[in-house]
Amino acid sequence: MESLDHNFSAHSADRSGTTWQMRQDWHVTARWARFMAIVAFVTAGISLIGMIGMSSALEQMMLLGGMDNPVLGAMLSQKALFAGIILVVVGVQVAVNLFQFRFANRMKEALQFTDQTALEDAWLQFSNFFKWTGIMIIGFIALYFVLLIFLFASLATMGG
């Protein structure tokens, strides 16, 4: 016969409660998650500024004597495409990290004010952060393989 208190720990909550150690770990996790989200937002901002600056830099390089440079010419002609790709990547990065930022804020609220609703919302945001990061990674891997296939197909066509 199972002992009635075999899972009882004198210093931990019942099975549906949180323990002090858990809350401490969540507090530290939330602080680092907030930091990582802010770094991601700043990186996205710098990427956008870099994208604007890159276009001007390429045009300057062409004027300074690269008029017959095929690579520079190709990059300038596809300026809109590159800008679009960078915008999409930056947009996805910001959207995904917004979940992480919300998780950090809601967890801080939950722990500070013992707010059950904030705690549930925090874990929902964290779950969404992991889910959309995973979907983004799958998308990038698929895109990578598609580009590889196109590259090999182009090389095969050129060689043939």
Partner 1 sequence: MDNPNQPLDTDLPDSEGKQSGLRITSSIRSHWHATSRWALFFAVLGFLYLGLLVFSLLSIASLSTGNLGGTEVTVMIFMLLLIGVLVFIPTWFMFQFSQNIQKGVSNNDLHATETGFSFLKRFYQFIGILTVIVLGFYALLLLFMFIGFAAR
| Among positions 56, 87, 126, 155, the unique one binding partner 1 when judged by CB under 8 A | 126
Residue 3 binding partner 1, by CB under 8 A: no
What 123-128 contacts at long range (C-beta under 8 Å, 24+ apart), as own/partner pairs, is 125/99, 125/100, 126/33, 126/99, 126/100, 128/99
Name which of 89, 14, 5 is nearest 46 in CA terms: 89
| Among positions 26, 105, 106, 108, the unique one binding partner 1 when judged by CB under 8 A | 26
Residue 120 binding partner 1, by CB under 8 A: yes
Residue 29 binding partner 1, by CB under 8 A: yes
Answer yes or no: are the C-beta atoms of 73 and 62 closer than 8 Å. Answer: yes
| Among positions 72, 79, 89, 123, the unique one binding partner 1 when judged by CB under 8 A | 123
Residue 24 binding partner 1, by CB under 8 A: yes
Residue 12 binding partner 1, by CB under 8 A: yes
Residue 25 binding partner 1, by CB under 8 A: yes
Q: Which of residues 128-157 bind partner 1 (CB under 8 A)?
A: 130-131, 133-134, 137
Structure tokens at 133: 């990061």
Residue whose pair of structure tokens reads 């500024």 in the numeric block: 49
The backbone torsions φ and ψ at residue 98, rounded to the nearest 5 degrees and listed phi first, read -65, -35
Which residues, at least 6 apart from 107, have a Cβ–Cβ distance to it below 8 Å? 26, 27, 29, 30, 33, 118, 119, 122
Residue 60 binding partner 1, by CB under 8 A: no
Q: Which residue ranges make up the site for partner 1 (CB under 8 A)? A: 9, 11-26, 28-29, 32-33, 35-36, 39, 110-111, 114, 116, 119-120, 123-124, 126-127, 130-131, 133-134, 137
